[in-house]
Structure 1
Amino acid sequence: MATRQSSTKSKGKKKKQKSWFYRHSLGLLIAGIAIFVTGISVLAFVFIPYSGSDTDNEWIYIPKGISQAAVKDSMKSNLGSSMGTRVYIIWKLMGGNSEKSQGAYKVSPGQSALNISRRVALGRQTPVEVRFNGTRTMKQLSERIAAQLQCSPEEFIEACDEVLPDSGFTRATYPAAFIPDSYEFYWSASPRNIVRRLLDYRNRFWDKSRRSKAARLGLTPAEVATIA
């Protein structure tokens, strides 16, 4: 009789152990599936590439003084609601700061949300091509520059007043300080930096050889620019 009771208890214990093992294994399986699904979701959230638009490339613009909410709106407006939201969330998780991220960023099809967010968070801007020609007055030139960069026409003229007189230019000869061409700038470049770089290009263009040729014609570089 005692042997039967012992056998019954042993079977019951084994049954409980199997039941616990089954429940434990099932719990681990469910947890594993949940982790796997979560991992896939995170990878999709981070790495699904930007699919582009009708114009192929898009730009994110983050101007000076913009709020965090406005940054999100800009991203959603230019990249679409879904992609823009993903980029904004990752940007925020990376410590995104609108002041540090000020600038313009080109986004091309195939770039992941992680890649876009990292560039914006680190302030790695895409240079903007600036072109101007056929401008006869400083008003026209300043408006053309301002239409392609963040500065205003008034800020550009003010920078000219601060930089150009030290190089011998007067307001009447300011246009001669700028050679019509294509240039690359960061969209958020300061007006003073813009003027200085354009002036430096002009000075390098007017090397000794070109100045000598102008002199043989009885002209100064400024007079050549005026005639042109």
Structure 2
Amino acid sequence: MVNQNKKSAFLKIAIAIVVVIVIVGAFILPKLYSKYLKANTNVSKKTYLYIPTNANFQQVLDSIDVNQLLINKESFLSLASDRDLSTRFKSGKYPIEKGMNNRQILNMLVAGNQEPVDLSFRNIRLKENFAAQASKKLEFDSLSLIQLLDSADFVKSYGFNTDNIYTMFIPNSYQMYWNISAKDFFIRMNKEYLKFWNAERLQKAKALNLTPQEVTILASIVDSEALVDKEMPIIAGLYLNRLKRGIKLEADPTVIFANNDFTIRRVLNKHLRKESPYNTYMNLGLPPGSIMMPSIKAIDAVLNYETHNYIYMCAKEDFSGYHNFATNLSEHLANARKFQNALNQRNIKK
């Protein structure tokens, strides 16, 4: 009888324990589920959380609030406190997607698993424009990059000067992290530059008796002149003929650049008189720097120029974007008159 009573008491205790477990579980498990596993993002499509360099935890929370990224902020803060997120998060650009839970978000911020930025640039006229465009996609401000490009000592350490430093940037599409610093961005672009100027391209530049920087400067003129890509090798050959013969390049795009007036459609004598090292009507040889960021096609057009005897060119009078080329001055003047008459007929005076 005693054994029976013991068994009955044990059973009651076991049942009580199970009941307590069930009650506690019913109370705790939903909280644990909400804290760790339940979807907690208030977005219908991928949205980004930007955490600036040197941001504090309150700034992170403010950004989450402003963008209304979470459904239940309290459950996120609870897990964040458990994981000591306030001292462990990393800066960057983070994708917040529909269905993500707190654990996934926290793991991403602690590990620094940010999404890279796609940065593309080409045919940008001025380095100031380039810096502004880069800063729109990346964290650093344009001034910080300009200060590097204008630092003679800094760019000299990479083999450039403040005039030709713009030739270092090869137009293409790149992936990098949003919070890259201006200096690290410069270093990355220098690596891409060295990769671009492989042994084959360096050998071709050497055969032209030009440095990679000079090839790019000439390519910037070629790219500015050529509205049709297939004319690039011809135009490159023309300017190389002039350089070899010691004839001034007399390239209209350099005059427009020297005058800093990119609305000019008709280069006049007053423009030609502009005192500037970039005015190739007044100065022999190449300008000190590029007049735009030339395309890779233009750079390769210089390296693979077309051999011919042309030393003059003039836009065709049909405004097709093509040019009339000439080997002598009389032929060139005839071509120029046809184009000038076409400009007059269209009342293009400047």
Structure-1-length-normalised TM-score: 0.77
1:75 to 2:64 alignment:
yes
- Give the superposition deviation at 1:72: 1.0
Q: Please point out which of 207, 212, 215 is paired with 1:221.
A: 212
- Give the superposition deviation at 1:128: 1.6
Distance 1:100 1:158 in 2: 30
- Give the superposition deviation at 1:201: 0.6
Structure number with higher helix proportion: 1
Correspondence for 2:120: 131
RMSD across aligned positions (CA): 3.1
Aligned in 2, Cα 1:138/1:45: closer, same or farther, shift over 3 Å? same
Q: Please point out which of 11, 14, 34 is paired with 1:44.
A: 34
Q: Please point out which of 13, 17, 33 is paired with 2:23.
A: 33
AA aligned to 2:205 is: A
Map 1:5-154; keep pairs closer than 5 Å. 25=15, 28-49=18-39, 53-54=43-44, 56-78=45-67, 80-82=69-71, 86-97=75-86, 100-154=89-143
Correspondence for 1:171: 162
**Cα pair 2:40 2:70 within 8 Å, conserved:** no
Distance 2:109 2:65 in 1: 14
- Give the superposition deviation at 1:147: 0.9
**Cα pair 1:163 1:196 within 8 Å, conserved:** no
Give a deviation string over 1:174-206, Cα, whole Å, max 9, x none. Answer: 210101111121211122111011011111101
**Cα pair 1:138 1:174 within 8 Å, conserved:** no
AA aligned to 1:71 is: V
AA aligned to 1:70 is: Q
- Give the superposition deviation at 1:23: 9.3
Give a deviation string over 1:22-51, Cα, whole Å, max 9, x none. Answer: 699457515422323421331133222366
Correspondence for 2:331: none
Aligned in 2, Cα 1:84/1:40: closer, same or farther, shift over 3 Å? closer
Which residues of structure 2 form unaligned runs of 5+? 221-293, 295-350
Correspondence for 2:281: none
AA aligned to 1:64 is: T
AA aligned to 1:108 is: E
AA aligned to 1:154 is: L
Greater Cα offset, 78-87 or 152-161: 78-87
Aligned length: 213
Greater Cα offset, 59-68 or 42-51: 42-51
Map 1:179-198; keep pairs closer than 5 Å. 179-198=170-189
Q: Percent identity?
A: 20
Aligned in 2, Cα 1:84/1:215: closer, same or farther, shift over 3 Å? farther
Moved over 6 A (4+): 21-24
- Give the superposition deviation at 1:65: 3.2
Aligned in 2, Cα 1:89/1:27: closer, same or farther, shift over 3 Å? closer
**Cα pair 1:87 1:113 within 8 Å, conserved:** yes
Correspondence for 1:212: 203
SS at match of 1:59: strand
